[in-house]
Structure 1
Amino acid sequence: MRIAVIGLGVLGASTARSLALAGAEVTVFERSAPGAGTTGTTFAWVNSHQKNPLSYHDLNIAGVLEHHELGGDWFRPTGNLEWADGPDGAERLRASTEQLRERAYPMEWISPRRARELVPDLVVPAGVDEIAYFPEEGHVLPIALLARLWGEARDHGAKLRCPAEVVAVSGGTVDLADGGRESFDAVVLATGRWTEQLASTAAVAIPMAGIEPATVGFLGYTSPVAARVPAVLTTPRLNVRPDGGGRLVVQGLDLDGDADPAAVPPADGEHAADLCARLRELVSGTEGVRLESLRVGQRAMPADGLTVAGFAAPRLYVLATHSGITLGPLLGRIAAEEILAERESPLLADFRPTRFSGLDRSTLKPLTRARFAGQQ
Structure 2
Amino acid sequence: MKIAVIGLGVLGASTARALALAGAEVTVFERSAPLAGTSGTSFAWTNSHSKDPRAYHDLNVAGMAEHAELAGPGGDWLARTGNLEWAEDAAGAERLAASVAQLTERDYPVEWITPQRARELVPDLRVPEGVRDIAFYPTEGHVFPALLVARLWGEARERGAELRCPVEVRAVSEVEGGARVESTAGTEDFDAVVLATGRWSEALTASAGHRVPMADPDAAGSATVGLLGFTRPLPTRLDRVLTTPRLNVRPDGGGRLIVQGLDLDAQADPAAPPSPDGELAATLCARLTDLLAGTEGARLESLRVGQRSMPADGLTVAGFLGERGTVYVLATHSGITLGPLLGRLAAREVVAGEQQDVLAGFRPQRLVGRSDLPPLRPARFAGQQ
TM-score scaled by structure 1? 0.97
Give the letter aligned to residue 210 of structure 2: V
One of 228, 232, 245 as aligned partner of 1:236: 245
- 1:205 is displaced (CA, Å) by 1.9
Does residue 152 in structure 1 map to residue 155 in structure 2? yes
Note the residue ranges of structure 2 that are not aligned, 5 or more in a row: none
**In 2, Cα distance between the equivalents of 1:225 and 1:153?**
36
Does residue 127 in structure 1 map to residue 130 in structure 2? yes
Does residue 218 in structure 1 map to residue 218 in structure 2? no
Residue matched to 2:366: 355
One of 301, 313, 322 as aligned partner of 1:292: 301
**In 1, Cα distance between the equivalents of 2:377 and 2:342?**
25
Residue matched to 1:343: 354
Residue matched to 1:24: 24
Residue matched to 1:62: 62
Does residue 275 in structure 1 map to residue 318 in structure 2? no
- 1:263 is displaced (CA, Å) by 1.2
Residue matched to 1:142: 145
- 1:84 is displaced (CA, Å) by 1.4
Question: What is the alpha-carbon root mean square deviation over aligned residues?
Answer: 1.2
Secondary structure at the counterpart of residue 182 of structure 1: strand
Secondary structure at the counterpart of residue 271 of structure 2: coil
Residue matched to 1:38: 38
**In 1, Cα distance between the equivalents of 2:27 and 2:383?**
33
Runs of 4+ in 1 over 4 A off after TM superposition: 371-376
**In 1, Cα distance between the equivalents of 2:211 and 2:382?**
26
**In 2, Cα distance between the equivalents of 1:158 and 1:11?**
15
**In 1, Cα distance between the equivalents of 2:384 and 2:147?**
20
Per-residue displacement from partner, 1:55-102 (whole Å, max 9, x unpaired)? 000000000000110111100000000011210110011001100000
Check 1:367–1:136 CA distance in 2 against 1; reply closer, same or farther (3 A cut): same
- 1:354 is displaced (CA, Å) by 1.2
**In 2, Cα distance between the equivalents of 1:82 and 1:13?**
31
Check 1:372–1:343 CA distance in 2 against 1; reply closer, same or farther (3 A cut): farther
**In 2, Cα distance between the equivalents of 1:371 and 1:264?**
19
- 1:139 is displaced (CA, Å) by 0.2
Check 1:127–1:221 CA distance in 2 against 1; reply closer, same or farther (3 A cut): same
TM-score scaled by structure 2? 0.95
Give the letter aligned to residue 67 of structure 1: H
Residue matched to 2:11: 11
**In 2, Cα distance between the equivalents of 1:333 and 1:375?**
27
8 A Cα contact 1:214 1:372, kept in partner: no
More displaced stretch, 10-19 vs 252-261: 252-261
Alignment size in residue pairs = 373
**In 1, Cα distance between the equivalents of 2:136 and 2:317?**
30
Residue identity over aligned pairs, in percent, reads 69
Per-residue displacement from partner, 1:211-248 (whole Å, max 9, x unpaired)? 34211010000001110011100000000000111100
Note the residue ranges of structure 1 that are not aligned, 5 or more in a row: none
**In 1, Cα distance between the equivalents of 2:284 and 2:369?**
44
Per-residue displacement from partner, 1:325-352 (whole Å, max 9, x unpaired)? 0000000000001111101111100000
Per-residue displacement from partner, 1:271-315 (whole Å, max 9, x unpaired)? 111100000000000112110111100100000000000111220
- 1:358 is displaced (CA, Å) by 5.2
